[in-house]
Amino acid sequence: MKDTYKHRGMRNKLADVLISKGITHTMVLDAIRTIPRHLFIDSSFEGHAYQDKAFPIGAEQTISQPYTVAFQTELLEIKPNHKILEIGTGSGYQTAVLLQFKAKVYTIERQLELFKKINIFFKKMGYRPKKVIFGDGYKGMPEEAPFDGVIVTAGAPEVPKALMSQLKIGGRLVIPLGIDEQIMTLYIRKSEKKFEKKEFGSFRFVPLLEDKN
Catalytic residue IDs: 64
Q: Tell me which DSSP letter residue 211 carries.
A: P
Cα distance between residue 84 and residue 204, in whole Å: 23
CA-nearest of 132, 141, 138, 140 to 114 is: 132
CB closer to ligand SAH out of 17 and 206: 206
* Shortest distance in whole angstroms from residue 154 CB to ligand SAH: 4
CB closer to ligand SAH out of 187 and 196: 187
Binding site for ligand SAH (CB under 6 A): 61-64, 87-88, 90-91, 93-94, 108-111, 114, 136-138, 153-154, 206, 208-210
Cα distance between residue 132 and residue 77, in whole Å: 22
How many CA atoms does the CB half-sphere of 164 hold within 13 Å? 16
How would you classify the pairing of strands 182-189 and 167-177?
antiparallel
* Shortest distance in whole angstroms from residue 193 CB to ligand SAH: 25
Cα distance between residue 175 and residue 35, in whole Å: 23
Cα distance between residue 188 and residue 208, in whole Å: 21
* Shortest distance in whole angstroms from residue 162 CB to ligand SAH: 11
Cα distance between residue 68 and residue 84, in whole Å: 17
CB closer to ligand SAH out of 169 and 208: 208
* Shortest distance in whole angstroms from residue 180 CB to ligand SAH: 16
CB closer to ligand SAH out of 174 and 186: 174
